[in-house]
Structure 1
Amino acid sequence: MSVQYKVTERINPNDVTLPKKYYARIINGDDVSFEELVGIISKVSSLNYGTVLGAIGTLLEVIEMQLAFGRQVRLSNLGTLFLTLNSEGVERPEEYRSDRIKQARIRFRPGARLKRLAKTLKYEKVSTASDVAPAP
């Protein structure tokens, strides 16, 4: 199976004065819902739907809890979830107050298996939206 892409004209976001160029843009299929993912896992494993639903639901709660404690969550070959902060700078550390923190972001660093996937993908150019194959 190949990742489908199309070619689109875009401006350079780093310098909008440069002429537009053509870039590859992935054609995303429809989303896989949480419920559909649970159903697929239950079909390809010996676990029933309810067990998978409960396990993933509990995993989400534990991830939220651990991130709130400031911990990185390593999910083996899947990757690592961690928090970063967006904040204002100050001249001296003693001037810093928590109200300078604008927001926290949850980041994901893929693990070895997903990195390997990204390196081995095959690509198929699609000229129009009508040429796009339906998702499996």
Structure 2
Amino acid sequence: MSVTYKVTERVDPRDLTLPKKFYARIINGDDVNFEELASIISKVSNLNYGSVVGTLATLIEVIEMQLVHGRQVRLSNLGTFFMTLNSDGVESQEDFRVSNIKNARIRFRPGPRLKRLMRNLDFERTAVLDASTTTAA
């Protein structure tokens, strides 16, 4: 299975003063929404659509509950969901206040199956024209 990419000209976000360079950029297809995912799972398994929807909805709810309790959620070979915090640093533990916490993020660490998928990818370049390089007729 090949991942399709195009080459686009961009600035280096770490140093905007550098000249633009050309970088690979993946061409993403359409999103797969919850209902479509449930439909696909029901077609490739012996589960009916309603059972799949119920199971996935429950999975989402349980993942949320476990993350709020500070637990990592490991989904077998798929990967692990976990939370991280971003906060301002202070000089001592006594000086730390909840107001120092700027945000919480949900992160995902891929498991062995997805890591293997990433190592075995093939890449196919497409000849997609950038809109900024085309001229009006």
> TM-score with structure 2 length normalisation?
0.91
Matching of residues 34-113 of structure 1 within 5 Å: 34-113=34-113
Shift in Å at residue 17 of structure 1? 1.6
The superposition leaves residues 93-134 of structure 1 with CA deviations (integer Å, 9 ceiling, x where unpaired) of 1100111111100000000000100111111101116xxxxx
Which residue is equivalent to 2:7? 7
In the aligned structure 1, how far is the partner of 2:33 from the partner of 2:14?
35
Q: What is the aligned partner in structure 1 of residue 31 from structure 2?
A: 31
- Name the residue aligned to 2:20: 20
Name the residue aligned to 2:127.
127
TM-aligned CA deviation for residue 46 of structure 1: 0.5
Q: Distance in 1 between matches of 2:88 and 2:16?
A: 27
Structure 2 unaligned runs (5+)?
Answer: 130-137
CA root-mean-square deviation: 0.9
**1:45-95 deviations in Å (ceiling 9; x for gaps):** 010001111111111110000000000000011100000001111011110
Structure 1: which 4+ aligned runs deviate by more than 3 Å?
A: none
Secondary structure class of the residue paired with 2:38: helix
Gaps of 5+ in 1: 130-136
| Residue identity opposite 2:88 in structure 1 | E
State how far apart, in whole Å, the 2-side matches of 1:121 and 1:80 are: 21
